[in-house]
Amino acid sequence: MSYFKKENLLFYAFNVVYFACSSLYFGFIVMYLTAHGYSSFECGVINTIISLVEFLFQPVAGYITDTFMSIKKYIILCSAGAILTTYLLPLTVHNMLGASISVMLLTLFAYPLTYLADTWSVTLRESLSYIDYGKNRSGGSVGYSVTSALAGVLIAKFGYDLLFLLHVILFAVVIVIVLFIPGVPCGNARKKKVEGAQLQPEQGESLSFGGIIKMLLRNQKYMVFLLSTFCFYMALKAWCTYIPYKIIELGGADKELGYAIALAAVGEIPILFIMNRCVQRFRLSFIYITATLCLFARGLLMLTAQSMSMVMLSELLEAFTYAFFIAVSLEMINRIVPRSIRTTAVTVEVAVTNGLSGIIGTFIGGILVDRFGVDMMSLVMCVMSALGVLLFAVPTYIQFQRDRELVV
């Protein structure tokens, strides 16, 4: 089937533009704050606020779009909110509290959108089978990498004011794109009773947020996957955050770090482009285990790197790993939880990994780097990534031996 259908092109465009927005604001926020006299600690506090908002609010956004408001309407409203709150940071940057509140508000509007759009794409695929999530998501890597490269040039020539203006313009483009994508109904919405029809209680009533969490806690496959991804992302986040120390240790500087970041972003594209075929051909469990093993290998390379080329190779492995991870996570949850609570399940997983696990990985990694050096941090995170492999691979192998048809 041809990829060049309206919905695919719109989702691809959404990812390009949304991740360009993310790059402009969140990608350069530390540089912007540093230019206004913020210390490393103060920048770290604001980054922690971003992670905390992500951890606390992602599941709420998922529940809202499962129960009360379609993803399409939610993204439009949040994009409008992001436009209105973009210029709060320049207005409050000279006050730490004001800047923190400004970043928190924009994060509330802007951060959950990519995972909601991913869920929207996969759900819409049930009725439009030609939708290719992997190729569509690769637009995000293109948007982020190209914008990151151009933004540095724009900052040098025009200053940071242009970045905030572009952020507003691009979020307006997001709204226009979303308007043309077919919506999907809320899976957990209260059903209207039709005269003469007999609805069972579970058909007529929507589940509460607590009820959905209980369902997820009782879902053994979901919990095994969640625990594994918790370990997986802790290691991934620590390595992503502290790779500059390894580059400096090997005699590199900003130029080498820029190459590494660009390589990690561009390297995701080919994997996401073939992901749809991989998902159709191989078991998701096999793909995920492959991703966890690639992450472990990435850690070993960072641990043993004696040259910049080994660091770059580790970044390429990270790109492959993360591309597999973001695609397989969504597909896995899509298959192991009911459709009615799918968005909440996805956003809970994102909150636990990107939020909680990311915070812990960054915190522990920072302590290890300060006290023992970057190599000790890499060693500890290699152990953590190996634990992530075992937590998923062992139960999956046992289940496969009992009944291979039960393995996703």
The pLDDT value recorded for residue 200 is 40
The pLDDT value recorded for residue 202 is 43
Look at phi and psi of residue 183 and say left if phi exceeds 0, alpha if psi is from -120 to 50, else beta: beta
The stretch 303-324 carries a mean pLDDT of 85
The stretch 219-247 carries a mean pLDDT of 86
The stretch 213-233 carries a mean pLDDT of 90
Q: How far is CA 297 from CA 37, 244, 338, in A?
A: 38, 19, 34
The pLDDT value recorded for residue 191 is 57
More confident position, 104 or 33: 104
Can you read off the two tokens belonging to residue 272? 């996401």
| DSSP state at residue 183 | P
Judged on CB neighbours under 10 Å (0-12, 13-18, 19+), 268 is buried
Class of domain 209-403: mainly alpha
Packing angle between helix 254-266 and helix 133-158, nearest 10 degrees? 150
Q: Which of 79-83, 278-282, 298-302, 308-312 has the highest mean pLDDT?
A: 79-83
Q: Which of 46-55, 178-187, 193-202 has the highest mean pLDDT?
A: 178-187
Residues ≥6 apart with Cβ < 8 Å to 275? 133, 134, 135, 137, 323, 324, 327
Q: Is residue 196 pLDDT above 60, yes or no? A: no
Give the confidence band of 195 by pLDDT, cuts at 50, 70, 90: very low
Topology agreement, domain 1-186 and domain 209-403? yes
Query: Identity (one letter) of the amino acid at 11?
Result: F
Residues ≥6 apart with Cβ < 8 Å to 210? none
The stretch 37-65 carries a mean pLDDT of 83
Q: Is residue 61 pLDDT above 50, yes or no? A: yes
In sequence order, which ranges of 26-95 are alpha helices (DSSP H)? 29-35, 40-67, 71-85, 88-92
More confident position, 16 or 358: 16
What is the pTM (predicted TM-score) of this model?
0.79
Query: Contact 178/76 with Cβ under 8 angstroms?
Result: yes
Q: Tell me the per-residue pLDDT of 138-162, one tens digit each, with 9 for 90 and over.
A: 888 888 878 877 877 788 788 888 9
98 membership: H or E segment, kind and range: helix 96-110
Architecture of domain 1-186: Up-down Bundle (1.20)
From CA 371, how far away is CA 63, in angstroms rounded?
41
From CA 69, how far away is CA 71, in angstroms rounded?
6
Domain map of the chain by residue range?
A: 1-186, 209-403
